[in-house]
Amino acid sequence: MGNCQAAEAATVVIHHPGNKIERIYHPVSVNEIMTSNPGHYIALVLTSPTLKNQHGMPLKQLKLLKPDDTLLIGHVYRLISFEDVMKEFAAKKCAKLGKLLKERGGIGVGMELKRKDLPNASDLKPKLNPKSGNCSSVIKVIINNKKT
C-alpha cells in the first residue's frame, strides 16, 4: 500500500499552453524554465479565498515571477506567452487611461482639456474599450479634437 498522493503533492506543477502539464520533482529556477520555453513567462497561480467569479468559484490570479525566483515544490505555475502578458498590460493601461479621461474629461499632449473644450465629448465614451487592448483611437480623438 503506497502513498502515491503524497508523491504527487511533492512536485512543481507547470501548466503549459495547450493544456500540457509538466511535473518536476525538485525546486527549479524560473530562468531554467524560461530558457527551455523561449517567449514565455512563468506565473504563480494564486487562488483567492475571499474573491469569487461569476460562477461562485474562487478567483484565480497570476503573479509573474522574476527569472531569479525559484519554483517551489507543492505550488502550481503557469507558462504565459509574451503576447498574452503584453495584451494584459495594454488592457490595464487602457483601463487606467479610460478612468483618467472619465475623471478629468480628457487629456491632450501635455495639456488638460475640459469637457466643454471638446466639440463632441460624448464621442469619447464609446471608444473607451479596455478589452480591445488598443487605446490609440482614444488618444487620436483627443489630439484631433485639440487641434480643431
- pLDDT tens per residue across span 88-130: 888 888 888 888 887 776 554 444 444 444 444 444 443 444 4
DSSP state at residue 134: -
What pLDDT is recorded for position 21? 94
DSSP state at residue 21: E
Q: pTM (2 decimals)?
A: 0.57
Please state, in angstroms and rounded to a whole number, the distance separating the CA atoms of residues 69 and 46: 16
Number of neighbours of residue 53 by Cβ within 10 angstroms = 10
Q: Do 114 and 75 touch, CB atoms closer than 8 A?
A: no
CATH level 3 topology of 4-81 = Ubiquitin-like (UB roll) (3.10.20)
Please state, in angstroms and rounded to a whole number, the distance separating the CA atoms of residues 30 and 71: 6
Give the start-to-end residue ranges of the domains of the chain: 4-81, 86-147
The per-residue pLDDT for range 10-31, each reduced to its tens digit, is 899 999 998 999 999 999 999 9
Q: Which residue has the cell 479565498?
A: 49
Question: Cell numbers at residue 125, please?
Answer: 465614451
Question: Cell numbers at residue 23, please?
Answer: 511535473
